[in-house]
Amino acid sequence: MSHFVHNTLSGLKKLLDNKNRMKRISHEGEVGIVSCSFNAPIQTTEIEMFERENNIKLPEDYKAFLTLHNGARIYELIDDEDDINIGGGLHLFSLDEVKEAQELELMEGLGLPIGHLLGDCYLILDTEKLKVGEPNYLNILEFTELASPNLNFEIFLDRYIISQGEVFWDWPIYTAENYYETR
């Protein structure tokens, strides 16, 4: 199975300026500046050591990401006036950060946290689904509620980048009947 993680990230990088920033449009036409940063890759031997230490087989698409970038920050908001990073976006953890996040009490029994997004959300690899070969192994922990958007890592990353950081996994619940009531 080939993975398109590389193509997705290459496409994003083509849109960035020389400061790794770009303009993006978000919901209802709001335009802002975001930044992206990418860690150096990790060696396959380090991934294999992590898998042995944690008694887990990481999904191939996630390992493909790690061999490109051992962590990244995508679509962090930049304040136009002060030219400072004000957060938000997606923080994909390095393997060292994954180890730290595993120790958080709220992660107990949920799987392997691989990223943080939108303030209070985590991306979680469902280790039980991985063990049985379930292809839709990625969960999103929002506060204390676990959502399963029926995705793997690379499809999540692709859609997150295409949607320019919007909460695309909630889109099916918004209709012309209820959208305006949530504003």
Query: What is the identity of the amino acid at 99?
Result: K
* Cβ atoms 71, 92 nearer than 8 A: yes
Tell me the per-residue pLDDT of 95-114, one tens digit each, with 9 for 90 and over.
999 998 887 766 677 789 99
- Identify the three-state secondary structure at position 148: strand
Residue written as token pair 């199975």:
1
Give the pLDDT confidence score for residue 1 in this predicted structure: 47
Closest CA to 32 of 73, 72, 79: 79
Share of the chain above pLDDT 70, in %: 88
pLDDT tens column, 21-35: 999 988 788 888 999
Q: Which residue has the higher pLDDT, 54 or 145?
A: 54
CA distance 99 to 68: 19
The dihedral sign for the CA sequence 148, 149, 152, 157: negative
**Which superfamily, per CATH, for 5-164?**
SMI1/KNR4-like (3.40.1580.10)
The band of 58, judged by pLDDT with boundaries at 50, 70 and 90, is very high
**The token pair that represents 15 in the structure block:** 């849109």
